[in-house]
Chains A and B, each alone.
Chain A
Amino acid sequence: MKIHEYQAKEIFATFGIPVPKGKMATTAEEARNIAADYGRPVMVKAQVHVGGRGKAGGIKYCNNADEAFANAEKILGMDIKGLTVRRVLVTEASDIAHEVYCGIIIDRAAKKPVIMVSAEGGIDIEEVAAKTPEKIHKLHVDPILGIQGYQARELAYKVYSDPNTANQAAKIIQKLYRCFMESDCTLAEINPLVTTPSGEVIALDAKINIDDNSLYRHKDFEGLRDVAPAEESENEAREAGLSFVGLHGNIGCVVNGAGLAMATMDLVKHYGGEPANFLDIGGSSNPDKVVTAMRIILRDPNVKAILFNIFGGITRCDDVAHGIVKAVAEFKPQVPIVVRLTGTNEEEARVILAQSHLPAADTMDGVVMKAIELAKVA
């Protein structure tokens, strides 16, 4: 789950990471009031789940409250990489003497969290990692022991020469690590971590991604989810225990298992069709999941045919068959549906489906080709 900068800064603050004062606004008037309250220059920053906000004109310096109003009015409603800005952060502007990059991710190959710092702040870390990896200093932390003080200091001294700022940065690195582990982040990033002319080290920006698998133990984070209108189907699917990703084709796909779902999309493309979506109904499926899946897919007006490709393991084919019968009765879909069910309890499923007279296929290639053919006719 991605969260906004202002939300990430609130989390940072609970771990004692210094951040500039700031408040979120959804109207220009609110932005003016916040700036007036601070009584000094502020930044107005677009809050969208995408990088490159500055380049897109979504971050503006404002000398006073009136400028904050004018800039917020420009930024709110702005489109940044396909996302509409609906919130801005109004935050005290800071003078910058020096800036560095500091971030933590999971190193999948090393199976450890890795802390990365670079003397170049404000950078695109992926670009630096690809082009000049020697400019990034890395530290793999033993997740059982946690980060040690000396490790944070060693890392800090690689990018700070002044002991005062190095010590502040070392403490921030330790706090960021605690934040990463305790908040179940998949990414925690300060870019840039700045030093002010008076020698204070503060997190000028904040980026946090939360592991979806951990949300059951972070009930407070659920409220942080900001669903863009384009992502509403994804969100509904997630709440029903499904995984859905919308695409631009016309073959709706209902599959169990992520690997098979991806392979089914790929096969649609391979045979000259275009998949309308990725949809994994997951394991332990109950019939209601199939009903939700059908509702989400039928909402897409581009869909001209729907295919079911189910290979039962922990998913029982009879559960899915019950769901299909129920969904067809409920929605009376106008688009053709082709079904392929194999594996656990497939015999029972066949009996259930026989009542619904839906076209069936025996193989994955068969169901995909049949769906493409039906979509052309429709």
Chain B
Amino acid sequence: MGIFVDKKSKVVVQGITGRDGSFHTRQMKEYGTNVVAGVTPGKGGTGFEGIPIFNTVAEAVKKTGANTSVIYVPASFAADAILEAADAGVELVVCISEGVPANDMLKVYNYLKSKGVRLIGPNCPGIITPGVTKVGIMPGHIHKKGSVGLVSRSGTLTYEIVYNLTLRKLGQSSCIGIGGDPIIGTNFIDCLAAFQADPQTTAIVLVGEIGGSDEEEAAKFIKKYVTKPVVAFIAGLTAPADKRMGHAGAIISGGTGTAAEKIKAFQAVGVPVAKTPGEVAALVEQKLKASESKSKAKPAAKPAKKAAAKKPVKKAAPKRAAKKPAKKTAVKKVKAVIKKVKVLKAAKSKSSPKAKARKK
């Protein structure tokens, strides 16, 4: 399982003949990704190491049945490439390119949302379901198949944390880099909901950084809907205010978006925040052990049941998949979570009553 990409993902590479595109196409193929097509306008009819190249994504989709696109084109062409992929009918677009203007992304985000196409990125490393497929630029060999879901705004910091997880034999279900820009297609909440719903995932790592309020929103969401253990890390405690720290989205402005605020938000909902990237794996290990012993103890212990009934939000571990009825409720719960996410997101975009009226 894992989230968003699996063995059914048929990948078309946009910008396959560029320096980065060709290098990482080769790496993806070596990892086992099903790369079915490449697109470079003007080079249609040629090929790249056995992969057919097309002039347009539409043609690539038609001829090869590609359902996932990964974009390695320069930033100035990236918005166009994302829209092209969405209009060609792929279900998932992963945009690696860094430096896409924010105002382009405002239009692209809202257009893709109206079409129901998922975008990951831009300015991100992509997504990997270890042992199955990788759509992006992360070094495959540091990953290990397993049950920890990881979502991050960073690229290389994610590798650092994955590397440490793997050293501790904590494999991953999926690792997703959502990107360091202010406007990105997929946010923490989308990934948390997907990991909560993914049966392979038993624990979640969230890697945030300064700027914006996505981490605070994620903390609220975890409190309401996530029953799997979550461990967080936030980068940028030593970052000065009003300076863009590399990522266009990593900026403390008007005194908001600080690492301290974000750490506080997670701690307030019971999510431990690692002090160093190296500490993340140890915290995950602890959490998994604690939830294992908890779920083992639960079926027998009556008082635990009582306590659960009292709480308005059920905190029962969903991993009790041994009994069939329990499994059913787990599925129901997950469906409810996904529904709630949709409602929550809809409510958010309706913040302006005028915008709502106009849509109708």
B246 touches A363 (CB 8 A): no
Q: Is B351 an interface residue (CB 8 A)?
A: yes
Question: How large, as a class, is the contact surface on chain A?
Answer: 35 or more
Q: A284-B20, A314-B137 are in contact. Are A257 and B106 (CB under 8 A)?
A: no
Q: Which of A145, A269, A311, A342 has the most chain B CB within a 10 Å cutoff? A: A311
B248 touches A213 (CB 8 A): yes
Which stretch of B197-205, B207-215, B224-232, B318-326 is in the interface? Answer: B207-215
* Smallest CB gap from A215: residue in B: B101
Task: Give 6 nearest A-B pairs by CB, closest first.
Answer: A259-B154, A258-B246, A257-B156, A259-B157, A280-B246, A214-B101
B137 touches A106 (CB 8 A): no
CB distance from B326 to the nearest CB of A (A): 36
* Smallest CB gap from A342: residue in B: B163
* Smallest CB gap from A210: residue in B: B101
Q: How many residues of B contact A (CB 8 A)?
A: 73
Q: Which residues of B91-150 have CB atoms within 8 Å of chain A's CB atoms?
A: 96, 98-103, 106-107, 109-111, 125, 137-139, 142
Contact mask A142-185 → B, CB, 8 Å, 1/0? 11110010010010000000000000000000000000110010
CB distance from A215 to the nearest CB of B (A): 9
Q: Which residues of B contact A342 (CB under 8 A)?
A: 159, 163
B182 touches A108 (CB 8 A): yes
- Seen from chain B, the residues whose Cβ lies within 8 Å of a Cβ on chain A are 19-20, 24, 27, 75-76, 96, 98-103, 106-107, 109-111, 125, 137-139, 142, 152-160, 163, 180, 182-183, 207, 209-210, 212-214, 217, 233, 235-240, 243-250, 254-255, 259, 275-278, 348-349, 351-352, 354-355, 358-359
In the assembled complex, the Cα of A181 lies from the Cα of B102 at a distance in Å of 10
In the assembled complex, the Cα of A108 lies from the Cα of B156 at a distance in Å of 23
Q: A269-B237, A313-B156 are in contact. Are A258 and B102 (CB under 8 A)?
A: no
How many A-B contacts at CB < 8 Å in the complex?
206
* Contact residue among B142, B157, B244, B358 (Cβ-Cβ distance under 8 Å from A263): B157
In the assembled complex, the Cα of A278 lies from the Cα of B278 at a distance in Å of 20
A258 touches B352 (CB 8 A): no
Q: Which residues of A contact B153 (CB under 8 A)?
A: 259
Q: Which residues of A contact B275 (CB under 8 A)?
A: 270
Q: List 17 A-B contacts (CB under 8 A).
A: A108-B182, A112-B106, A139-B352, A143-B103, A144-B111, A181-B103, A186-B102, A216-B76, A243-B245, A258-B154, A259-B154, A259-B207, A267-B276, A313-B159, A343-B142, A343-B156, A364-B277
B139 touches A263 (CB 8 A): no
Q: Is A265 an interface residue (CB 8 A)?
A: yes
- Seen from chain A, the residues whose Cβ lies within 8 Å of a Cβ on chain B are 106, 108-113, 126, 129, 138-145, 148, 151, 154, 180-181, 184, 186, 211-214, 216-217, 243, 245, 247, 255-263, 265-270, 275, 278, 280, 282-284, 311-315, 342-344, 363-365
Q: Which of A108, A110, A245, A315 has the most chain B CB within a 10 Å cutoff? A: A108
A245 touches B110 (CB 8 A): no
B245 touches A278 (CB 8 A): yes
Q: Which residues of B contact A257 (CB under 8 A)?
A: 154-157, 246
B209 touches A259 (CB 8 A): yes
Q: Which residues of B contact A111 (CB under 8 A)?
A: 106, 109-110, 183, 349
Q: A144-B107, A213-B102 are in contact. Are A110 and B180 (CB under 8 A)?
A: no
B102 touches A263 (CB 8 A): no
CB distance from B173 to the nearest CB of A (A): 20
CB distance from B194 to the nearest CB of A (A): 19
Q: A148-B358, A311-B159 are in contact. Are A212 and B109 (CB under 8 A)?
A: no
